[in-house]
């Protein structure tokens, strides 16, 4: 990739680090290949770094299993929107597989750089193609095969960041979530303060309900909003 100094090699691979993440309540551990967080302000870095909200929501899911795991052992189909590195979606499937054998997560993003990285992170975590897939999905565009499916659970982190994404994102959640199912979204609070009110208007127009809106103070000073969205 041109113009980004030493970050990218000629073959498109980038200077990366691999970080380990431990989730003590469930015992889930993950290895995530990523770009250094300091590159998050570069446009090319956006899908390739782990954003704080993805860790924050994964940690919440780890500690609050009774609030989102089903009481039955039936397989769960989960979808992650705007996956980036895939940390949140990969935590979700590893946790689901502890309770619900046969579960699957579909990781999605519109950027090819993310889809390439997701393939690496799926492999690094020794997950099979029956358990995880990574597919192109641009919010509001239902022409891809994913547009034909619906899911028991949707997760997403740091995906609310400008006015243009709000309506297609809300429509995507409505279309791809099964009736009676939940979506958990976490977002940087500063960006949520800017766009959250309009996002909630779009969710309501799409027929969805914001059941919970919780402000989480992270230890590193970043504030994160966590939403529970339900489809009746």
| 53 counts as binding ligand SAM under rule CB under 6 A | yes
Q: What are φ and ψ of residue 31, in 5° steps?
A: -115, 125
The residues that bridge with 22 in the sheet, in sequence order, are 29
Residue of 30, 47, 56, 95 interacting with ligand SAM (CB under 6 A): 47
| 46 counts as binding ligand SAM under rule CB under 6 A | yes
Stretch that binds ligand SAM, among 13-21, 46-54, 71-79, 222-230 (CB under 6 A): 46-54
Binding track over 125-164 against ligand SAM, x by CB under 6 A: ------------xxx-----------------xxx-----
| 178 counts as binding ligand SAM under rule CB under 6 A | no
* CB neighbour list of residue 141: distance below 8 Å, 6 or more residues apart: 147, 168
Cβ at position 187, least distance to ligand SAM in Å? 9
Residue of 28, 32, 35, 50 interacting with ligand SAM (CB under 6 A): 50
| 59 counts as binding ligand SAM under rule CB under 6 A | no
* CB neighbour list of residue 132: distance below 8 Å, 6 or more residues apart: 89, 90, 93, 104, 105, 106, 107, 122
Residue of 42, 110, 124, 228 interacting with ligand SAM (CB under 6 A): 110
Cα-based distances in Å from 95 to 18, 59, 99: 21, 11, 7
| Closest to ligand SAM by CB, 37 or 68 | 37
* CB neighbour list of residue 79: distance below 8 Å, 6 or more residues apart: 105, 106, 108, 146, 151, 153, 154, 155, 176
């Amino acid at each position: 990739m041109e113009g980004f100094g030493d970050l990218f090699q000629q073959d498109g691979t980038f200077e990366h680090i691999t970080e380990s993440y431990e989730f003590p309540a469930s015992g889930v551990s993950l290895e995530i290949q990523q770009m250094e967080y300091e590159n998050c302000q570069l446009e090319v870095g956006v899908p390739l770094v782990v954003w704080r909200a993805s860790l924050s929501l994964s940690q919440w899911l780890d500690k609050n299993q009774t609030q989102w795991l089903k009481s039955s052992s039936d397989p769960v189909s989960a979808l992650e929107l705007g996956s980036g590195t895939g940390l949140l979606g990969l935590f979700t499937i590893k946790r689901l597989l502890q309770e619900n054998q046969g579960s699957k997560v579909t990781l999605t993003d519109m950027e090819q750089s993310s889809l390439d990285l997701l393939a690496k992170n799926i492999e690094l975590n020794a997950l099979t193609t029956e358990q995880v897939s990574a597919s192109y999905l641009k919010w509001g565009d239902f022409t891809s095969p994913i547009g034909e499916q619906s899911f028991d659970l949707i997760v997403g982190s740091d995906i609310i960041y400008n006015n243009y994404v709000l309506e297609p994102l809300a429509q995507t959640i409505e279309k791809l979530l099964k009736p009676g199912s939940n979506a958990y979204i976490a977002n940087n609070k500063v960006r949520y303060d800017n766009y959250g009110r309009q996002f909630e208007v779009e969710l309501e127009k799409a027929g969805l309900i914001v059941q919970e809106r919780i402000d989480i103070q992270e230890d590193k000073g970043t504030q994160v909003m966590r939403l529970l969205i339900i489809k009746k």
